[in-house]
Amino acid sequence: MDMNYKAEVFVDTENLSREDWLSFRRKGIGGSDAAAIMGMSPFCTKRDLYYDKLGIQPVMDEEEDNWVAKEVGHRLEDLVAEIFARKTGYKVYPIRKMFRHPLYPFMLADVDFFIDFPDGTKGILECKTTNYNCQDKWANDSTPVNYEYQGRHYMAVMNINKVYFACLYGNNENEFFIRCMERDLDIEEDLIAEEEYFWKENVEMCVEPPYTEKPDLVLESIRRHYGPADKDADEVTLDRKYLGKIKQYMELKEKKALHDGEAKKLETKMKEIYAEIVEKMGTSCTAVLTEGGQRYVLSYNPTYRTGIDKNGLERLKAQHPDVYDDYVNTTESRRFSVKVKGAA
């Protein structure tokens, strides 16, 4: 791999509108696209990314349905960078340009901040925010895998050997993660090869990449692409090549039913066993039993769920339609099933 190169300026982003920025971003592969290409994005398939690059459908990002979280992250970038600078003593600064790799011009980089190290070398700083309940994604000195690929993509484009991730998850400077990642040329070579194949064989050739991600992510991608269900749509006639998959699905469903039935029997037996103990506990939520050197602590805690039943919703809609429209929304979920009938 030729390491004697310098990133090229693709476009100055200082005064770009968001629409223009997105337009330039679709002309190549950015850092936040890398995880999807490697099949490691938690919210985007490679097919979603393909649709985005061809302008068919914008790709979903992690906070697409929560504009507040997205805006908070954007507005706090400077604060995260300032906290990082205070904690490390490093000089950090932005360069408002989108760069591209001179050897692989489809690889783009829009870096949050750059770092000047005391030895004269440079690094990259990526600023992140998350909520308190999601800090476990950074546990044990780890970095979320989608951010890891983003950092490796940026190091490749910029020909820089170190990237830092700084993540604020609370409202003070101690609720703050700093992770450092060194360049790995073997991983980088694999990443470049996957990105090159995606760009040249899928995007440029207009060939949809296959779905290889987790089923839930694939099903959500399909739902987003095709839109809401249409009960009046004509039925679809399937080719015989799907018969094997249908039979396999039915076999797996039968196996699951057997396990579910056994699980229900076991659950019933467990309830029979602890019913007498629950009666003894009465309204208490905790019971203890000490025997030998062991202490058994039993809990029977309540859970509460606040909601409006169907009749309540109907009354709300009839009496306060404006309130109903503001606070009640309908989400679609679809259930797959197979029934075998005699041939017509």
Would you say 285 and 293 are in contact if contact means Cβ atoms under 8 Å apart? Answer: no
Query: What is the DSSP annotation of 234-302?
Result: PPPPPPGGGHHHHHHHHHHHHHHHHHHHHHHHHHHHHHHHHHHHHHHHTT-SEEEEEETTEEEEEE---
Q: Give the residue from 192, 225, 258 where a domain finishes.
A: 225
| 314 in a structural domain | no
Query: Quick one: pLDDT at residue 62?
Result: 45
Domain containing 206: what range?
8-225
245 and 163 in one domain? no
120 and 188 in one domain? yes
| 136 in a structural domain | yes
Q: By mean pLDDT, which of 25-39, 149-163, 208-222, 283-297 is the weakest?
A: 283-297
275 and 216 in one domain? no
Query: Quick one: pLDDT at residue 280?
Result: 87
35 and 127 in one domain? yes
Q: By mean pLDDT, which of 15-24, 28-37, 94-103 is the weakest?
A: 15-24
152 and 44 in one domain? yes
Would you say 41 and 146 are in contact if contact means Cβ atoms under 8 Å apart? Answer: yes
Q: Please tell me which residue, 335 or 175, carries the higher pLDDT value.
A: 175
Query: Quick one: pLDDT at residue 66?
Result: 60
Residue pLDDT, tens place only, 102-146 = 999 999 999 999 999 999 999 999 999 988 888 888 988 999 999
| 170 in a structural domain | yes
Identify the residue whose tokens are 């991983």.
Answer: 187
pTM for the model = 0.78
Q: Please tell me which residue, 328 or 294, carries the higher pLDDT value.
A: 294
Q: Name the pLDDT band for 60 (thresholds 50, 70, 90).
A: low
Give the residue-averaged pLDDT of 48-69. Answer: 74
Does residue 334 surpass a pLDDT of 90? no
Residue 40: give its domain's CATH number.
3.90.320.10
| 124 in a structural domain | yes
Query: Quick one: pLDDT at residue 69?
Result: 67
Query: Quick one: pLDDT at residue 41?
Result: 93
In Å, how far are 96, 124, 255 from 137, measured between CA atoms? 29, 21, 34
Q: By mean pLDDT, which of 86-90, 261-265, 310-314 is the weakest?
A: 310-314
Query: Quick one: pLDDT at residue 82?
Result: 95
Query: Quick one: pLDDT at residue 190?
Result: 96
Q: Name the pLDDT band for 226 (thresholds 50, 70, 90).
A: confident
Q: Please tell me which residue, 334 or 217, carries the higher pLDDT value.
A: 217
270 and 149 in one domain? no
214 and 256 in one domain? no
Strand partners, 298: 287
